[in-house]
Amino acid sequence: MAAAVTPPREPTSVVGANPIFAQTMLRVADPAASAAFYTGVLGMSHLTSLEFPALEFSLHFYGYPPAGEAPAPPASAPQEERAAWLWARPYPTVELTHNWGTEKADSGFQGYDNGNDAATGGRGYGHLGVLVDDPVAAVAAMKAAGVKVTREASPFQDVGVLGFVADPDGYLVEIIQRAGGGAGGAASAGPPAGMVGPDPVLAQTMLRVRDPAASIAFYRRLGLTYLTALAFDDFSLHFLGAPPAPPPAATVGGNDRPARAGWLWGLRSPTVELTHNHGTEADAGFGGYHNGNSEPKGFGHLGLIVSDVAAAVEGLRGEGVRVVREASPFQDAGVIAFVADPDGYLVELIQRAGEVGAPYAKPL
């Protein structure tokens, strides 16, 4: 089994204090079908939408807002106002991008790639992950409702109970048993959310990476903290995030995999899960992973909200990071930029609209 990477003390962030891991962007063919899945199945709320008629696409944002949060400005409000509300949210969202016309039966559109099929050439992005009390019950309810189940909920080695389902475009969602959950655990408070039970947490976005040392260094410079690793015979999972408190030293570098998984599945803040298939970092013949933005398209980018996009871009450029889009206003949706990580995955940097708050964890 490969040893877990134990990075040194966290470096200074290039993007300023308390960046927000704000979004995972996925392209979808039919926004109505996707809305039914993300709200009715996963129990998320539709937060707001941004429309770009001149470019013929729309962005629809979903998430698990804290109870009692004031709603977004209405759809009739100026888009600039709705975008500013969105860029002040402290919690993660799923951004579903709809290129107009793909939903029509006669469009000839063949669908998006979910990032998990090497045969299509699209292997790269892996999945979203949601923490729930009882993944067995949740996956069973989804299956009964006609949702495609790609892995029944059951123990995965010694890191807990999990299952996988597919959304209408085939993107995978991992349903993970939260620490203390399950049939014998105490039920979370609150009403059920969709088919996943009460109090789900949007917990992770998984990307495959070739060289974990390079990828970890990149995301740490974006202000994320290295949390822990789960190492298996042929692959390792490295988790980074921005939790309210740093992980215990034994969790970061210890050898007790069940204990590290248990701590991880108890977090209430989002993580980036970097999957390293052992040997790719030294394989001269490895062709790399697909970032989802050329054919076959699917996954688009991660998004971080930062206090000064222009300064962040210059800091990253100075360290050799590839800048894909310079910091500038994007129509009436605020200032954004794009940079590429070591595997070519895009990261959108978005100008913060609210105050710099404390690192986020979903309230109990």
Q: Which of 56, 69, 174, 314 is catalytic?
A: 174
Arithmetic mean of pLDDT, 109-127:
91
Find out whether 141 and 175 touch, Cβ atoms under 8 Å: no
Please give the domain boundaries of the chain with CATH numbers for all domains: 20-111+290-351 (3.10.180.10), 121-282 (3.10.180.10)
Question: How many C-beta atoms surround the C-beta of residue 274 within 10 A?
Answer: 25
Arithmetic mean of pLDDT, 107-124:
89
Strand 93-99, strand 57-63: pairing: antiparallel
Question: How many C-beta atoms surround the C-beta of residue 286 within 10 A?
Answer: 12
| Residue 295 pLDDT | 92
Backbone CA torsion sign across 282, 342, 176, 96? negative
Reading phi first (left if > 0) and then psi (alpha if -120 to 50, else beta), residue 181 is in beta
For residue range 314-361, list pLDDT tens digits in order.
999 999 999 999 999 999 999 999 999 999 999 999 999 988 888 999
| Residue 186 pLDDT | 61
Question: Percentage of the chain with pLDDT > 70?
Answer: 94
Could you tell me which residues come within 8 angstroms of residue 315 by beta carbon, excluding any fewer than 6 positions away? 14, 15
| Residue 164 pLDDT | 98
Q: Which of 360, 57, 13, 1 has the alpha carbon at shortest distance from 202?
A: 360
- 3-class secondary structure, 36: helix
Structure token digits, residue 295: 């054919």
DSSP state of 194: T
Banded pLDDT at 1 (limits 50, 70, 90): very low
Phi, psi of 143 (to 5 degrees): -60, -45
- 3-class secondary structure, 266: coil
pLDDT > 60? residue 3: no
Q: Is 174 a catalytic residue?
A: yes
